[in-house]
Copies of this chain bind each other. A is one copy, B any other.
Protein backbone atom coordinates (compact mmCIF):
# COMPACT_ATOMS: atom_id res chain seq x y z
CA UNK A 1 0.00 0.00 0.00
CA UNK A 2 1.17 3.54 -0.74
CA UNK A 3 0.81 5.66 2.37
CA UNK A 4 1.18 9.43 2.29
CA UNK A 5 1.79 11.20 5.59
CA UNK A 6 1.39 14.92 6.18
CA UNK A 7 3.71 16.08 8.96
CA UNK A 8 7.43 15.65 9.57
CA UNK A 9 7.20 15.75 13.38
CA UNK A 10 7.34 12.87 15.82
CA UNK A 11 3.81 11.69 15.03
CA UNK A 12 4.49 11.49 11.31
CA UNK A 13 7.80 9.75 11.91
CA UNK A 14 6.37 7.12 14.25
CA UNK A 15 3.58 6.38 11.77
CA UNK A 16 6.05 6.20 8.89
CA UNK A 17 8.22 3.67 10.74
CA UNK A 18 5.17 1.57 11.54
CA UNK A 19 3.84 1.54 7.99
CA UNK A 20 7.31 0.75 6.58
CA UNK A 21 7.66 -2.10 9.06
CA UNK A 22 4.32 -3.39 7.74
CA UNK A 23 5.70 -3.54 4.21
CA UNK A 24 4.12 -0.37 2.86
CA UNK A 25 5.63 2.39 0.73
CA UNK A 26 5.67 5.68 2.60
CA UNK A 27 6.10 9.27 1.54
CA UNK A 28 6.13 12.09 4.07
CA UNK A 29 5.05 15.56 2.99
CA UNK A 30 6.37 18.95 3.95
CA UNK A 31 5.84 22.48 2.65
CA UNK A 32 9.46 22.87 1.63
CA UNK A 33 11.61 19.78 1.07
CA UNK A 34 14.93 21.62 0.93
CA UNK A 35 14.24 23.56 4.11
CA UNK A 36 13.17 20.44 5.97
CA UNK A 37 16.34 18.60 4.94
CA UNK A 38 18.56 21.59 5.69
CA UNK A 39 17.45 21.95 9.32
CA UNK A 40 20.19 20.94 11.71
CA UNK A 41 18.54 21.82 15.00
CA UNK A 42 15.76 20.25 17.03
CA UNK A 43 12.26 21.35 16.09
CA UNK A 44 10.00 23.16 18.59
CA UNK A 45 8.91 19.81 20.05
CA UNK A 46 12.61 18.94 20.58
CA UNK A 47 12.61 16.24 17.94
CA UNK A 48 15.97 15.65 16.29
CA UNK A 49 16.38 17.19 12.83
CA UNK A 50 14.35 15.46 10.14
CA UNK A 51 17.47 14.63 8.17
CA UNK A 52 18.90 12.59 11.04
CA UNK A 53 15.74 10.53 11.21
CA UNK A 54 15.64 10.22 7.42
CA UNK A 55 19.10 8.68 7.36
CA UNK A 56 17.89 5.94 9.68
CA UNK A 57 14.80 5.40 7.57
CA UNK A 58 16.13 5.54 4.02
CA UNK A 59 13.11 3.90 2.39
CA UNK A 60 10.81 6.75 3.40
CA UNK A 61 10.49 9.35 0.67
CA UNK A 62 10.16 13.04 1.41
CA UNK A 63 8.04 15.15 -0.91
CA UNK A 64 5.91 18.25 -1.12
CA UNK A 65 2.37 18.12 0.22
CA UNK A 66 1.18 17.97 -3.36
CA UNK A 67 3.49 15.03 -4.14
CA UNK A 68 2.27 13.16 -1.10
CA UNK A 69 -1.39 13.75 -1.79
CA UNK A 70 -0.90 12.34 -5.30
CA UNK A 71 1.26 9.44 -4.09
CA UNK A 72 -0.86 8.13 -1.25
CA UNK A 73 -3.59 5.56 -1.67
CA UNK A 74 -4.22 6.34 1.97
CA UNK A 75 -3.32 9.76 3.32
CA UNK A 76 -2.67 10.42 6.96
CA UNK A 77 -2.94 13.88 8.47
CA UNK A 78 -0.36 14.10 11.25
CA UNK A 79 0.40 17.82 11.34
CA UNK A 80 -0.28 20.13 14.25
CA UNK A 81 -4.04 20.49 14.50
CA UNK A 82 -3.96 24.18 13.64
CA UNK A 83 -1.97 23.49 10.46
CA UNK A 84 -4.10 20.65 9.07
CA UNK A 85 -6.63 22.43 6.87
CA UNK A 86 -4.04 24.80 5.37
CA UNK A 87 -1.78 21.88 4.54
CA UNK A 88 -4.62 20.05 2.81
CA UNK A 89 -5.61 23.10 0.82
CA UNK A 90 -2.10 23.70 -0.41
CA UNK A 91 -1.81 20.04 -1.46
CA UNK A 92 -4.67 20.35 -3.94
CA UNK A 93 -8.01 19.10 -2.74
CA UNK A 94 -8.63 17.14 -5.95
CA UNK A 95 -5.75 14.81 -5.05
CA UNK A 96 -7.74 13.41 -2.14
CA UNK A 97 -10.86 12.38 -4.07
CA UNK A 98 -12.13 8.87 -3.26
CA UNK A 99 -9.17 8.24 -0.95
CA UNK A 100 -9.17 7.29 2.69
CA UNK A 101 -7.89 10.19 4.76
CA UNK A 102 -7.02 9.33 8.34
CA UNK A 103 -7.19 12.40 10.54
CA UNK A 104 -5.00 11.89 13.61
CA UNK A 105 -4.88 15.54 14.64
CA UNK A 106 -5.98 17.23 17.82
CA UNK A 107 -7.24 20.82 18.11
CA UNK A 108 -4.53 21.98 20.49
CA UNK A 109 -3.70 25.53 21.38
CA UNK A 110 -0.10 25.53 22.61
CA UNK A 111 0.12 29.31 23.01
CA UNK A 112 -0.30 29.24 26.79
CA UNK A 113 2.07 26.38 27.50
CA UNK A 114 1.12 22.96 28.82
CA UNK A 115 -1.26 21.32 29.13
CA UNK A 116 -2.35 22.81 25.81
CA UNK A 117 -5.72 24.45 25.29
CA UNK A 118 -8.50 23.11 23.08
CA UNK A 119 -9.92 24.92 20.07
CA UNK A 120 -12.72 22.63 18.86
CA UNK A 121 -16.40 23.25 19.49
CA UNK A 122 -19.34 20.94 18.94
CA UNK A 123 -20.00 20.80 15.20
CA UNK A 124 -16.61 22.29 14.37
CA UNK A 125 -14.10 19.59 15.19
CA UNK A 126 -11.01 19.13 13.03
CA UNK A 127 -12.42 15.87 11.70
CA UNK A 128 -15.52 17.67 10.46
CA UNK A 129 -13.48 20.56 9.06
CA UNK A 130 -11.37 18.15 7.06
CA UNK A 131 -14.36 16.16 5.78
CA UNK A 132 -16.08 19.41 4.78
CA UNK A 133 -12.96 20.51 2.96
CA UNK A 134 -12.74 17.16 1.15
CA UNK A 135 -16.32 16.09 0.43
CA UNK A 136 -15.14 13.39 -1.99
CA UNK A 137 -12.66 11.84 0.43
CA UNK A 138 -13.46 9.24 3.04
CA UNK A 139 -12.25 10.88 6.21
CA UNK A 140 -11.79 8.66 9.26
CA UNK A 141 -10.97 10.26 12.58
CA UNK A 142 -8.65 7.81 14.30
CA UNK A 143 -5.41 7.41 16.23
CA UNK A 144 -5.83 10.77 18.00
CA UNK A 145 -7.08 9.65 21.39
CA UNK A 146 -3.79 8.47 22.87
CA UNK A 147 -0.10 9.22 22.44
CA UNK A 148 1.19 7.96 19.10
CA UNK A 149 3.73 5.59 20.68
CA UNK A 150 0.76 3.80 22.28
CA UNK A 151 -1.24 3.94 19.05
CA UNK A 152 1.40 1.92 17.22
CA UNK A 153 2.06 -0.40 20.17
CA UNK A 154 -1.16 -0.67 22.17
CA UNK A 155 -0.45 -3.65 24.39
CA UNK A 156 -0.61 -2.50 28.02
CA UNK A 157 0.34 -4.55 31.07
CA UNK A 158 -2.98 -3.77 32.69
CA UNK A 159 -5.35 -4.68 29.85
CA UNK A 160 -6.55 -3.70 26.40
CA UNK A 161 -7.15 -0.01 25.83
CA UNK A 162 -10.01 1.06 23.57
CA UNK A 163 -9.52 2.80 20.23
CA UNK A 164 -12.37 5.06 19.13
CA UNK A 165 -12.79 5.82 15.42
CA UNK A 166 -15.41 7.85 13.56
CA UNK A 167 -16.29 8.59 9.95
CA UNK A 168 -19.04 8.56 7.36
CA UNK A 169 -17.79 5.73 5.16
CA UNK A 170 -18.21 2.20 6.47
CA UNK A 171 -15.65 0.58 4.17
CA UNK A 172 -13.05 3.20 5.09
CA UNK A 173 -13.65 2.58 8.79
CA UNK A 174 -13.32 -1.13 8.15
CA UNK A 175 -9.95 -0.61 6.49
CA UNK A 176 -8.72 1.59 9.35
CA UNK A 177 -9.92 -1.07 11.76
CA UNK A 178 -7.81 -3.65 9.92
CA UNK A 179 -4.75 -1.40 10.13
CA UNK A 180 -5.32 -0.99 13.86
CA UNK A 181 -5.74 -4.73 14.36
CA UNK A 182 -2.44 -5.22 12.56
CA UNK A 183 -0.82 -2.97 15.13
CA UNK A 184 -2.20 -5.05 18.00
CA UNK A 185 -5.45 -3.25 18.84
CA UNK A 186 -7.99 -5.67 20.28
CA UNK A 187 -10.83 -3.27 21.14
CA UNK A 188 -11.78 -0.88 18.35
CA UNK A 189 -15.07 0.99 18.68
CA UNK A 190 -16.81 2.66 15.75
CA UNK A 191 -18.17 5.72 17.55
CA UNK A 192 -20.31 6.91 14.65
CA UNK A 193 -20.11 9.37 11.77
CA UNK A 194 -17.58 12.16 11.33
CA UNK A 195 -19.61 14.54 13.52
CA UNK A 196 -18.50 12.39 16.46
CA UNK A 197 -14.96 13.65 15.87
CA UNK A 198 -15.61 16.29 18.49
CA UNK A 199 -15.90 13.55 21.12
CA UNK A 200 -12.78 11.78 19.91
CA UNK A 201 -10.90 15.07 20.07
CA UNK A 202 -12.26 15.70 23.58
CA UNK A 203 -11.21 12.16 24.57
CA UNK A 204 -7.75 12.89 23.20
CA UNK A 205 -7.55 16.00 25.37
CA UNK A 206 -8.60 14.04 28.45
CA UNK A 207 -5.64 11.75 27.74
CA UNK A 208 -3.26 14.65 27.05
CA UNK A 209 -4.19 16.68 30.13
CA UNK A 210 -3.73 13.64 32.34
CA UNK A 211 -0.36 13.06 30.66
CA UNK A 212 0.99 16.53 31.41
CA UNK A 213 -0.43 16.70 34.93
CA UNK A 214 0.97 13.33 35.94
CA UNK A 215 3.97 13.17 33.63
CA UNK A 216 2.45 9.90 32.44
CA UNK A 217 2.93 8.82 28.83
CA UNK A 218 2.00 5.17 29.08
CA UNK A 219 -1.64 5.31 30.08
CA UNK A 220 -4.73 4.44 28.10
CA UNK A 221 -8.43 4.04 28.73
CA UNK A 222 -10.15 0.67 28.53
CA UNK A 223 -13.85 0.28 27.91
CA UNK A 224 -15.34 -2.10 30.47
CA UNK A 225 -18.60 -3.30 28.96
CA UNK A 226 -20.06 -4.95 32.04
A226 contacts B157, CB within 8 Å? Answer: yes
Partner of A202, one of B192, B199, B221: B199
- CB neighbors of B among A199-226 (8 A): 199, 202-203, 205-206, 209-210, 213, 216, 218-226
Contacts of A225 in B (CB 8 A): 158, 216, 218-219
- CB neighbors of B among A112-129 (8 A): 117-118, 121-122
Identify the closest chain B residue to A217 (Cβ): B226
B209 contacts A206, CB within 8 Å? Answer: no
Q: A218-B226, A221-B224 are in contact. Are A199 and B192 (CB under 8 A)?
A: no
A206 contacts B199, CB within 8 Å? Answer: yes
Partner of A221, one of B156, B158, B192, B221: B221
Q: A159-B159, A202-B206, A226-B156 are in contact. Are A192 and B220 (CB under 8 A)?
A: no
Contacts of A4 in B (CB 8 A): none
A202 to B125, CA, bound (A): 14
- Rounded to whole Å, the gap between the CB of A221 and the closest CB of chain B is 5
Q: A219-B223, A221-B221 are in contact. Are A199 and B209 (CB under 8 A)?
A: yes
- Rounded to whole Å, the gap between the CB of A200 and the closest CB of chain B is 9
B224 contacts A220, CB within 8 Å? Answer: yes
Partner of A223, one of B189, B191, B199, B221: B221
- Indicate if A161 sits at the interface (CB-CB under 8 A): yes
- Indicate if A196 sits at the interface (CB-CB under 8 A): yes
Identify the closest chain B residue to A198 (Cβ): B118
A122 to B118, CA, bound (A): 8
Known: A216-B225, A222-B222. 14 other contacts (CB 8 A): A118-B122, A121-B121, A156-B226, A162-B221, A191-B209, A192-B209, A192-B213, A199-B202, A202-B202, A202-B206, A219-B223, A219-B226, A221-B221, A222-B224
18 CB-based A-B contacts, threshold 8 Å: A117-B122, A118-B122, A156-B224, A156-B226, A157-B226, A158-B222, A158-B225, A159-B224, A191-B209, A192-B209, A192-B213, A199-B206, A199-B209, A202-B202, A210-B223, A219-B224, A221-B222, A221-B224
